[in-house]
Amino acid sequence: MKSLSEIKLAIIGLGYVGLPLAVEFGSKRSVLGFDINQQRIDELRAGHDLTLETHREELLGATQLRFTTHLEELRGCNCFIVTVPTPIDTHKRPDLTPLIKASETVGKALKPDDVVIYESTVYPGCTEEECVPILERFSGLTFNRDFFVGYSPERINPGDKEHRVTTIRKVTSGSTPEIADLIDALYNEIITAGTHKAPTIQVAEAAKVIENTQRDLNIALINELAIIFNKMGIDTEAVLKAAGSKWNFLPFRPGLVGGHCIGVDPYYLTHKAQSIGYHPEIILAGRRLNDSMGVYVVAQLVKAMTKRRLLVDGARILVMGLTFKENCPDLRNTRVVDIVSELHDYHCSVDVFDPWVSLQEAQHEYGITPVTHPEENAYDAIILAVAHQQFREMGVERIRRLGKPGHVLYDLKYLFPAEATDLRL
Tell me the sheet residues that pair with 77: none
Residues 6 or more apart in contact with residue 277 via CB below 8 angstroms: none
What pLDDT, on a 0 to 100 scale, did the predictor assign at position 1? Answer: 62
Supply the residues annotated as catalytic. 261
Cα–Cα distances (Å) from 191 to 34, 79, 335, in that order, read 22, 18, 32
> CA–CA separation, 10 vs 17, rounded Å?
14
Phi-psi region of 280 (alpha: psi -120 to 50; beta: other; left: phi over 0): beta
CA-based angle 378:323:321, to the nearest 5?
Answer: 20
CB contact burial 101-140 (16+ within 10 A = b; e otherwise):
ebbebbbebbeeebbbbbbbbbbbebbbebbbebbbebbe
Return the pLDDT at 162: 76
How many other C-beta atoms are found inside a 10 Å radius of the C-beta of residue 234?
12
Phi, psi of 371 (to 5 degrees): -80, 150
> What order of strands is seen across the sheet that includes strand 403-411?
349-353, 316-320, 379-384, 403-411, 423-424
- CA dihedral sign of residues 349, 258, 414, 397: negative
pLDDT of 200 reads: 98
Burial class (CB in 10 A: 0-12, 13-18, 19+), 351: buried
User: So what's the pLDDT on residue 53?
Assistant: 86
CA distances from 360 to 38, 132, 331, 371 (A): 17, 37, 12, 12
Sorted by sequence, the CB contacts under 8 Å of residue 206 that are 6+ apart come out as 124
Rg of the chain taking only CA atoms, in angstroms: 23
CA 240 to chain centroid: 25
Angle at 34 between CA 330 and CA 21, to 5 degrees: 60
Q: How far apart are the first and last CA of the chain?
A: 55
179 vs 146: CA distance, rounded Å: 12
Block means of pLDDT (10 residues each) for the chain, length 425 residues? 87 95 94 95 91 87 92 96 94 95 97 97 96 98 97 85 87 97 97 96 96 95 96 95 96 90 92 96 96 96 96 97 93 95 97 95 95 96 97 96 97 94 94
Q: How far apart are CA 21 and CA 82, in angstroms?
A: 11
Q: pLDDT at position 279, please?
A: 96
